Amino acid sequence: MRILLAEDDLLLGDGIRAGLGLEGDTVDWVTDGLAAEQALSTDEFDLLVLDLGLPRRDGLDVLRGMRRRGDLTPVLILTARDKVADRVAGLDSGADDYLSKPFDLDELLARVRALTRRHTGRAQPALEHGELRLDPATHQVTLAGAPVELAPREYALLRLLLEQRGKVLSRTRLVEALYGWDGELESNAIEVHVHHLRRKLGNELIRTVRGIGYGIDRPADKASS
């Protein structure tokens, strides 16, 4: 999952980015409101973690602006403003959840997982597909009850494809989700990750749509094809 983090506290931001990275998420980090607006206007994110007290443009203004543009990206607000009126203002402006500072990192990670479940229309925490099971809370992947060891980006790719079952995701979308603004990558990096997943989980799991990308079919889609 690709997350935009807008937080001007460098120590806190570094800790959040590291914690989300351990979850298998790709985190792009900005430290002011104008940079957040620019990122949201040019890139696609699965979640925005937004501090309200940002320099150059207040977090509430960023939130209101994105909702006016029709941007439905889920938003988790982080703020030291702990008055009820501030929380109400944030939620009424379009935030999906609210976390007051200081907070425990484990709670932040749990709220991010919950927002992801709601946004993808899931009720259960784990992602299941036939005999395959992926638990975002424990990072454990099993196939027919047996654990499967995956590299971090293999895990991130599998999680994204399972969350978006029934859709074909372009290579560009997958590169952005797995690598964000991070450095250089080999031109065939996605193909290599897909190859490794097929070797570990079976060739039938991930479908290639030539010239478009990759996807995991829903069971009903396979049955009707």
* Tens-digit pLDDT profile for residues 115-149: 988 887 776 788 999 999 999 888 899 999 999 99
Q: Of all residues in the chain, what percent are helix, strand and coil, respectively (each to 5)? A: 45, 20, 35
Average predicted confidence (pLDDT) for the chain = 90
* Residue ranges with strand state E in the chain: 2-6, 26-30, 47-51, 75-79, 97-100, 127-129, 132-135, 140-143, 146-147, 169-170, 207-209, 213-215
The architecture CATH gives domain 127-224: Orthogonal Bundle (1.10)
pLDDT at 219: 75
The architecture CATH gives domain 2-119: 3-Layer(aba) Sandwich (3.40)
Contact status, residue 3 vs residue 47, Cβ threshold 8 Å: yes
pLDDT at 224: 44
Q: Where in the chain is the domain with CATH 1.10.10.10?
A: 127-224
Q: pLDDT-derived band of residue 205, with 50, 70 and 90 as boundaries?
A: very high
The whole model's pTM is what? 0.80
Range of weakest confidence among 60-74, 92-106, 110-124: 110-124
Structure tokens at 35: 């940079």
- How far does Cα 163 stand from its chain's mean position? 10
Q: Where in the chain is the domain with CATH 3.40.50.2300?
A: 2-119
